[in-house]
Chain A
Amino acid sequence: MNTAFETYETAWCPGCGNFGILNALKDALTELGLKPHQVVIASGIGQAAKMPHYINVNGFNGLHGRALPPATAINIVNKDLKVIIDSGDGDTYGEGGNHFIHAIRRNANIAHFVHDNQIYGLTKGQASPTTAKGQKTSLQFDGVILDPVKPIKLALTMGAGFVARSFSGNYEHLKKMMKEAIMYDGYALLDIFQPCVTFNKVNTFKWYNDRVYELPDDYDYTDLDNAFKVADEWGDRIPIGIIYKVEKPTYIDNISFLKDGPPLVDAKLDPMMAEKYLDDFR
């Protein structure tokens, strides 16, 4: 088994929702015609964040909650690389919440896949920022008393140009959404329902299967007002698909020497080029 994006031995639980994401991601990259050295996966900490270890691409497996800042910089420095983030709901919406808000403002070219299982798996079952209010956990014994973060609405509010949702139990849909997000020019949020089979006994494959429905083909994802309404749908029916998508200038588009020039990484270095700046001090 020596495919380009070969899989390594994983440390995930049998039946974990992450496997669906791994398979869809490998196939999405293959179908997009990308080669391993052209792709970077950045991640933080958590089970989802182990993705760069299970697929043969460049990987930046950094600190908890900190995947977005290095991913942003990687895109700025080398626009030829496809930058993807694979990380969890705690990593993205909890520890990394501040970076999430500001990454949307920067609009670097990143496909951000959030493995959203509504629980902390690696630390054995505490509430995550997306755990439902009232849900009992290994730490919130009387049930979560906080309102959950609403990732889709938050991203829309911040002005993200690509906001989508998918489900790890729906391979075809997930692969399609991944390809859309990777090809999108700018920051693309893909929130992925990913059941934690060990610690979240509420949001199971069945729970999601009973609820998720694909947005119809005639759904107008350029209508922001409508996108907010769709983002609010939660309960018996939960929509998946591209909820909002528009074109907007990326970080690189806003800096002319990055947009029109070669990637920053290819810049020629010569100390003598800076000598003229001494004139500022004469």
Chain B
Amino acid sequence: MDYNVLIGGAAGQGIDTLSYIIEKTLKRCGLYVFSMKDYMSRVRGGHNFIQVRFGDKPIHSHDEKFDAIIALDEDTVNLHSKSLKPSGKLILDKSISDNDTYLSFDFKAVAKECGNPRVLGTAAVGVLLKLFGIPLDVSHTVLDDEFKGDVLNANIKAIDAGYSMAKQIFNVPLGKKDDNIYISGNEAIALGAIAAGVKFYSGYPMTPSTSVMTYIAKKSHDAGIVVEQVEDEISAINMALGASYAGVRAMTGSSGGGFALMVEGISLAGITEIPIVITEVQRPGPATGFPTRTEQGDLRFIIHSGHGEFPKMVISLRSPEDAFYQTARAFNIADKYQIPVILVSDQYLADSGVTVKPFDFTKVTIERHISGHEALENGVYKRYKLTQSGISPRIIPGKVEGATVLIDSDEHDEFGHITESEDVRVKMVNKRMKKFKLLKEEVQEPLFMGAENPDILITCWGSTYGPVKEAVDMLLKDGMSVGALSFGDIWPFPTKLIKKYGKFAKMIIDVEQNATAQLDSLMRENALIKADEHILKYDGRMMSSRYIYERVREMTRSSSLY
């Protein structure tokens, strides 16, 4: 059982709220939900829509065919009615269109009766819930959490009225018990950071990264976290580095253009060996690009961010669940190696809401790797002491009487003092690069899905995990020998599994949301494996599992494989 609905209209018509009511109601009925947002870079007008897919099994991506559409404007009818399944229903106010094939109602009159013209859409939600036989009382609990007073009453009246206007058509087997949570990728990053003990977050608002900062700010008082909205992203990273130097876990984040401004600071983190976690929620570039759309175009840029050579780690996030645990892990790695760790996400993952098992907070560990008095030798502290591992003991300024901590963006000696010595320079470069070797042993190999030793191997990274996972399931059902490697840790580049599966595969198909197949270039460079075919999408819209499935079928048909 798998249903898919769309709510469309202009910015300012409250689509976010309506879809949220639908998503939360479905989720509280014990169903699995996946929602995807498509919105324009404007405050009012234009055409925005949200897709909500739901069913009785976990859902990992969106789909393009709909069982029902709520159209709050004419654009939605024109743009999306062709995507209705044969049994699909289009719900709208009769002032938009009175076509007999649609479910058109006088929502305006209903809203007037409810005493609030803005509840027109809530009445349409009532109709939608009835079509699927979703219990009305569950939607009331959601409204009750969202609204207060007169607005709440008007919304309850409207949803009831809508519900009574329609007939049930679809059969949705409701879940017995709702233990799950419903969360977006950005919220999961924020929650992971809070669990990991982040105490300082500095950032500048930039779509689609902003909601990471927003959620942490919402909890800042309760959790004792300082969230500072800064003048620019240059300040954001330098402030976070100051906070980390002073002894707390610190984080910053942005999207492509803002991250570009942080690059100087990433280089600073590299030479000063200050731990820092940075999130890059990608959007299509270059420059301002497609502000509210999705892409995976920044991978190479992120891996190479910062001038000079120094170790860093880059982790791409696959899903909200992955985002939570990997964010917490990123802080431990940053602290252990005293390096920048960059989490890579994108608009699709950032804004998608997914039903998942509640995160297990007992699995989050906090490993700070901070030293005290024992780090002193004859009463002297060397911030950049040359060690076998390249990792120097780290103390916190002010916390060890008699010891001072000096960090420097210039090349420095073991004490942190500026040096121009070629000998010290080589030792310090070697010291930092030793950590990169250790880091290589720390990387997690990509996740493998599908048939063992497959003929067809799909490679992907980050948020394409969901669509690829579902596409693999569809292809397996067709009897194809197919498997996929989904990269999470991506720098240092893990090579073991791609070398192993790359040998068996008769065809490697690389799937990415960019134009230049950046993952494929990393595979060639680091594992001497290259893809035979590519499924690349860079129109700003996420590819669905259906899209991947159809492309793979085409590619294999035209080859001699199937």
Contacts and interface: CB of A to CB of B under 8 A. Distances in A.
Interface string A204-220: 00000000000000000
Interface stretch (A25-33, A52-60, A129-137): A52-60
Contacts of A68: 235
B361 A61 contact: no
Nearest to A57: B404
Contact of A277 (B219, B236, B403): B219
A63 B248 contact: no
A277 B243 contact: no
A103 B358 CA distance: 41
A45 B183 CA distance: 44
A256 B397 CA distance: 24
A81 B323 CA distance: 35
Interface string B385-415: 0000000000011111111111111100000
A1 interface: no
A12 interface: no
A73 B406 contact: no
Given A37-B402, A264-B200, A274-B361, A53 B268 contact: no
Contact of B241 (A62, A270, A271): A62
B226 to A, nearest CB: 6
Given A59-B416, A61-B409, A278-B359, A264 B226 contact: yes
B202 interface: yes
Contact of A36 (B187, B236, B404): B404
A73 B246 contact: yes
A154 interface: no
Contacts of A267: 197, 199, 224, 248
A264 B248 contact: yes
B15 to A, nearest CB: 20
B344 interface: no
A238 interface: no
Contacts of A57: 404
Interface in B183-197: 183, 187, 191, 194-197
B210 interface: no
B242 A60 contact: yes
B398 A73 contact: no
Contacts of B243: 70, 73-74, 76-77
Contacts of B405: 58-59
Interface in B146-188: 178, 181-183, 187
Interface in A46-101: 50, 52-53, 56-63, 66, 68-74, 76-78, 80-81, 98-99, 101
Nearest to B191: A277
Contact of A52 (B236, B249, B406): B406
Contact of A77 (B191, B194, B246, B416): B246
A264 B478 CA distance: 57
A227 to B, nearest CB: 25
B321 to A, nearest CB: 12
A69 B404 contact: no
A76 B230 contact: no
Contacts of B224: 257, 261, 264, 267
- Counting chain B CB atoms within 10 Å of each CB, the highest count among A11, A73, A272 belongs to A73
A102 interface: yes
A106 to B, nearest CB: 8
Given A74-B243, A98-B231, A63 B406 contact: no
Nearest to A45: B409
B518 to A, nearest CB: 28
Interface in A131-187: none
B406 A61 contact: yes
A281 interface: yes
Given A59-B404, A69-B230, A102-B231, A281 B242 contact: no
B64 to A, nearest CB: 27
A81 B245 CA distance: 13
Given A80-B398, A271-B364, A257 B182 contact: no
Contact of A73 (B234, B240, B249, B362): B240
Given A271-B195, A277-B191, A69 B406 contact: no
Contacts of A45: 409
Contacts of A59: 404-408, 416
B418 interface: yes
Nearest to B231: A102
B168 to A, nearest CB: 26
A198 interface: no
B410 A61 contact: yes
B361 A77 contact: no
Contact of B398 (A72, A81, A101, A277): A81
A69 B246 contact: no
A228 to B, nearest CB: 25
Contact of A81 (B191, B226, B397, B417): B397
Contacts, number: 191
B272 interface: yes
Contacts of B401: 35, 37
Contacts of B250: 73
A272 B230 CA distance: 30
Contact of A76 (B226, B359, B366, B410): B226
B240 A62 contact: no
A119 interface: no
B550 interface: no
B247 interface: yes
B197 A74 contact: no
Contacts of B265: 63, 66
B239 interface: yes
Nearest to B221: A257
B200 A73 contact: yes
A226 interface: no
Given A255-B226, A257-B224, A63 B409 contact: yes
Nearest to A76: B226
B328 interface: yes
A58 B407 CA distance: 8
A73 B361 contact: no
B223 interface: yes
A60 B231 contact: no
Contacts of B236: 69
B226 A258 contact: yes
A114 interface: no
Contacts of A99: 231, 234-235
Nearest to B267: A63
A265 B246 contact: yes
B264 interface: yes
Interface string A190-207: 000000000000000000
Contacts of A38: 398
Given A62-B238, A74-B242, A281 B397 contact: no
A196 to B, nearest CB: 20
A159 to B, nearest CB: 15
A145 to B, nearest CB: 27
Given A38-B398, A62-B268, A258-B226, A70 B231 contact: no
Given A53-B406, A59-B407, A77-B226, 17 more contacts: A37-B402, A40-B397, A53-B418, A58-B404, A59-B404, A61-B408, A61-B410, A62-B272, A63-B264, A69-B234, A70-B239, A106-B228, A264-B226, A269-B366, A271-B197, A271-B328, A271-B362
What are the nearest 4 A-B pairs in CB distance? Answer: A70-B242, A73-B242, A269-B197, A271-B364
25 contacts: A37-B403, A42-B242, A45-B409, A53-B408, A53-B417, A58-B397, A58-B398, A59-B408, A61-B409, A66-B268, A69-B202, A73-B202, A76-B243, A77-B200, A77-B243, A77-B248, A81-B398, A99-B234, A256-B221, A257-B221, A264-B248, A270-B197, A272-B362, A275-B361, A277-B219
